[in-house]
Structure 1
Amino acid sequence: MPVSLDLASPANRPRPLAKVSPVDGGEKPSLIGLDRDALAEALRSVGVPERQLRMRVAQLWHWLYVRGVADFGQMANVAGDLRNALADTYSIARPEVVEEQVSVDGTRKWLFRFPAKGAGRPVEIETVYIPEEGRGTLCVSSQVGCTLTCTFCHTGTQRLVRNLTPDEIVGQILVARERLGDFPDAATPAGAIVPSDGRLVSNVVMMGMGEPLYNFDNVREALAVATDGEGLSLSRRRVTLSTSGVVPMIPRTGEEMGVMLAISLHAVRDELRDELVPINKKYPLKDLLDACRAYPGVSNARRITFEYVMLKDVNDSMADAKELVRILKGIPAKINLIPFNPWPGTFYECSDWDQIERFADYVNQAGYASPIRTPRGRDIFAACGQLKSESERMKKSDRVKLETARISELAAH
C-alpha cells in the first residue's frame, strides 16, 4: 500500500519541513518567479542604489534558485539591513505541503496549498514526481482545476478555480527539489525524503492540473525562470508543455518558450475527439495538426509527442492505429500510448494489454516510436489523468478498494 503523510495534522507530522517559510497569507508580493528586471525593480523599491542593482539581483537569484533558500536570513552575503527590508516588504514563501504520498513504485505526489490572492480563498493543487533510470520527471500544474472537461480525465471533473501565478508554478519545482535533497552545494536538508545525489529533478512536464496555454503568460514567465542557465538551469529540451489543442497559442509557445511540445490527442476522428476532448469542437484535428507541422523548431531531433490514452472499444482498434499513422504523416513525431488510468465514477475501461501491444506494433512498423507508458503512481492517484485537488477526495473505503485493485493489476503486468 502507498505511504501517505497527512501533514495537515501536527500529530501526524513526522518531521518539520526543511527551510520552508510559513505562508504569509498572500499579503506580501513574492519575489519568486520574477525575471531579473522585475527583481531589480523590487530591490530599487527598498532603496538599493542603482550602482548595486546588478550585483544584488545576481545574489538573490543565486540564493533562490541555486542554493534554494526560503528565508532571507539565510542569504549570508546580503547585508542585514537589506535582508530585513526585503523580509518586511516581500515574500519568498513556498506552497504549504498539506499531504505527501509515496507510491509502491516510488512515485511521489504532493498536495500543495497556496494562500488566498486578493478576494479569493486558499487553493490546492497536486504535483507529481516520477523517478526513472537516469532521470526524474516533475509533473507541474498550471491551473487550479480545468475548463476543458475531457471525459476521460479526472482533473476535468473539477471546475476551474483560477490560474496559477509564476511564483506558484516555480514554487512547485522549488519544493520538490528541496524535499528530494536536490539543491547543489548544500547538505541534505532535515526532512528530505532522499539524500542529495546528483540532479533528481532533471525534467519538467507541464502536464499536471489545467491547460497551460490557457495560462500562457504566467507559464511563459515561470518557465523562463526554470530554464535560466544561472539558476534552476533546466534545459528547454528537458521541459515539455502538453496542450489539449489551443491552436492559436501553439506558434507562440515555440517562439516565446522554445520548449518541447506534447499534444493530448486521444482520437483520430473529429466526431470522437469532440466527445473525448471537447476543445476539438473549436479547434478540429486539421487545424491542430497544421499547427504542429508549422511548430517552430520541429525536426527529427525535436519531435512533437502525441499522447494517446488507450480506451477499450473506444479508440483502440487497428483501424484507429492506421488512421493515426495517416493523419500524422509529415510530422516529426513520437506517440506515447497511455493505458487508461481509472478513477472513481468513470465509465471508461483500459484497453486489453494485448490490444495495446498490437496497436503499438503497427505504429512502430510505420516508422513512429510508440512507447507504451508504464503506469506510475496509480495507487496514489498520481498517474496521467488522475490528478484532482485532494480537497475533493473520495470516501476512504472506496479509495482503499480501488488502490487494492490497481496494485493487483500492476502486479499482473
Structure 2
Amino acid sequence: MKFQPAKPSLFGETLESLTERAVADGYKAFRAKQVMEWLYKKRVDDWEAMTNLPKDFRAWLADNYIIYPARPVLDKRSDDVTQKMLMELGDKSLIETVLIRAPQKGVGQEDSRKTVCVSIQVGCAYGCKFCASGLAGFRRNLMAAEVVAQLMHICRREDAHTERAREEIASFDNIVFMGMGEPLANYETLVRTIRILNADWGLNFGARRITVSTSGLAPQIEKLAEEGVAVRLAISLHGATNEVRDQIMPVNKRYPLEKLLPAVKAFQQKHGRMLTLEFILIEEVNDSLEQARELAKIARDLHAHVNCIPYNTVEGLPWKRPSIRRQDAFVDVLRKARVSVTIRREKGHDINAACGQLRLKTEEALSAEGYTTSKKS
C-alpha cells in the first residue's frame, strides 16, 4: 500500500527540487535556501516563524506543503539510557524512533554520545522470527520526509533539554537505520534520505556517521556500494551457518551466506571501512560455541567487528536470552580468535525497546479501546 498525503512535506525536498519548484512559480531561487535554513538550522515548525520570507512566499509554502509529516504521541525513557518516541504519521500509522545514550566519563548523561535508530517502514515484510516489527505484518514504506522528520523531532527534543555546544547542526552523534523495517527494501527512500541528511543545506551530517543495517539483501548491498555515499554497513547476521539462519531469518532462503558474504566483502573492499556483524544471542538457537567458532571465521574473513546482543524478550514469542555464563562463553571464543567484539547488555527493556514492541503494544491497546490504526495491506 502506498500512502499519498494531501500535501508533501518539505523534509522530502532537496535544495535543488525546492528551488526548481519555487522558481517555476515565480519566486527567487535563493528563497529555497532560506527555507532550508529555517528547517534544519532553526528547527521551526510554523510558517509564520520564517520571518525573513515574504508573506506571499510563506502563503505559497503553506498552500503546497506541510512541515512535519509525523508527530510524537508517546515519549518513553527507560531506567538506563534509552529513550523511545512513538510517532503517528498522516495515515495514523505508528512508527518508533529510539535515542540511545552512551555515557562518557567527565560529562553528564544529556551530553553523552547519542545514537538515533530510525524506522524506514511501517512494520516489516521479512519476518525474522525473533523480531516484533513484523508481528503485525508489513503496511507500507516510509517516504524520505517521514524518515527525516523522525530525526528532526529528536533534534528539537534534545535542543529543549541540552545546550547545543557542538558546531554540528545535529543534536546527536550517530544515525542507524536499524529501527522498524528493512532499509534496503525501501532503497530509493534510503538513498534520498541519506543525501538530504548529508547535504550542507540539510543536517550536514557526515555519511561515515550513518550506519545502514540490513538482514542481508545481497543485490542491494552491491548497489549501495556504488552510490557514492560512504555510509557504514551492519549485517544482521544472527546465525553463522545457513542451517541456523534458516530457522530464524526467512531472507536466508533467498540470499544464503554463499550469496550474502561475497556482496558484503565487495562493499567492504569498495569503502575500506570495518563492517559490523550484528548477532542477537538466543538461547539454544545460535548461542553454541560451534556457532561462535563459525562466526569468528566469518568476522576474520570480512575484517568485521561483532556486536553481540543478548535477546530482548518479546511478548508472544518463544525465544529466551542466554544466561550470562553462556553469553560470556560465546564472546570468549571470539576474543580468543582475535575478533573485535563487544557485547551490548540490555538497554531499554523496561520501555519495550526491541524494534516494533512499543508500537505493537500501543496498537493492541488502541484496538482494545475501539480505536483503529491503518490496516495491513
Q: TM-score, normalised by structure 2?
A: 0.88
Look up the match of 2:108.
Answer: none
- Provide the aligned C-alpha RMSD in A: 2.0
DSSP 3-state at the match of 2:208: helix
- The one-letter amino acid paired with 2:203 is L
- The one-letter amino acid paired with 2:19 is A
Which residue, 31, 48, 52 being the options, matches 2:10?
Answer: 31
Which residue, 29, 40, 62 being the options, matches 2:19?
Answer: 40
Which residue, 121, 131, 136 being the options, matches 2:101?
Answer: 131
Partner Cα distance (1:243, 1:90) in 2: 32
Matches within 5 A, 1:107-186: 107-116=82-91, 122-133=92-103, 134-181=112-159
Look up the match of 1:282.
Answer: 254
Partner Cα distance (2:364, 2:164) in 1: 33
- Deviation of 1:59 (Å): 1.1
Task: Establish whether residue 226 from structure 1 lines up as the match of residue 205 from structure 2.
Answer: no
- The 10-residue stretch of structure 1 (378-387 or 321-330) with the greater mean CA deviation from structure 2: 378-387
Q: Which runs of 5+ in 2 are unaligned?
A: 104-111, 367-377
Please tell me whether the aligned partners of residues 177 and 201 of structure 1 are also in contact (alpha carbons under 8 angstroms): yes
* Residues 296-316 of structure 1 deviation map (CA, whole Å, 9 limit, x = unaligned): 5556x6111000011111111
Partner Cα distance (2:127, 2:349) in 1: 21
Task: Establish whether residue 74 from structure 1 lines up as the match of residue 53 from structure 2.
Answer: no
- The one-letter amino acid paired with 1:294 is A
- The one-letter amino acid paired with 2:285 is V
Task: Establish whether residue 332 from structure 1 lines up as the match of residue 310 from structure 2.
Answer: no
* Residues 223-263 of structure 1 deviation map (CA, whole Å, 9 limit, x = unaligned): 11112234312211110010000110002222223210000
* Residues 177-228 of structure 1 deviation map (CA, whole Å, 9 limit, x = unaligned): 10111xxxxxxxxxx3555454641111000000011100011111111122
Partner Cα distance (1:252, 1:178) in 2: 34
Partner Cα distance (2:56, 2:365) in 1: 49
- The one-letter amino acid paired with 1:336 is N
Please tell me whether the aligned partners of residues 132 and 360 of structure 2 are also in contact (alpha carbons under 8 angstroms): no
- The one-letter amino acid paired with 1:263 is I
Which residue, 54, 67, 74 being the options, matches 1:99?
Answer: 74
Partner Cα distance (2:206, 2:213) in 1: 17
* Residues 249-295 of structure 1 deviation map (CA, whole Å, 9 limit, x = unaligned): 00222222321000000011112211211100000011111111110
How many residue pairs get matched?
351
Look up the match of 2:107.
Answer: none
DSSP 3-state at the match of 2:10: coil
Partner Cα distance (2:339, 2:356) in 1: 24
Which residue, 233, 240, 246 being the options, matches 1:268?
Answer: 240
Gap change, CA 1:335 and 1:387, over 3 Å in 2: farther
Partner Cα distance (1:197, 1:105) in 2: 24
Q: TM-score, normalised by structure 1?
A: 0.80
Q: Which runs of 5+ in 1 are unaligned?
A: 1-24, 117-121, 182-191, 396-413
Look up the match of 1:357.
Answer: 328
DSSP 3-state at the match of 1:349: coil
Partner Cα distance (2:283, 2:315) in 1: 17
- Deviation of 1:385 (Å): 7.0
Look up the match of 1:213.
Answer: 184
- The one-letter amino acid paired with 1:123 is S
- The 10-residue stretch of structure 1 (255-264 or 281-290) with the greater mean CA deviation from structure 2: 255-264
* Residues 21-69 of structure 1 deviation map (CA, whole Å, 9 limit, x = unaligned): xxxx932222212122211123134321xxx31x222211211111111
- The one-letter amino acid paired with 2:251 is I
Look up the match of 1:313.
Answer: 284
Partner Cα distance (1:141, 1:155) in 2: 10
- Deviation of 1:343 (Å): 1.1
- Deviation of 1:94 (Å): 4.0
Look up the match of 1:379.
Answer: 350
- The one-letter amino acid paired with 1:276 is I
Partner Cα distance (2:7, 2:156) in 1: 23
Identical aligned pairs, as a percentage?
A: 37
Matches within 5 A, 1:291-310: 291-295=263-267, 302-310=273-281
Please tell me whether the aligned partners of residues 32 and 92 of structure 1 are also in contact (alpha carbons under 8 angstroms): yes
Gap change, CA 1:294 and 1:97, over 3 Å in 2: same
Look up the match of 1:239.
Answer: 210
Look up the match of 2:363.
Answer: 392
- The 10-residue stretch of structure 1 (346-355 or 88-97) with the greater mean CA deviation from structure 2: 88-97
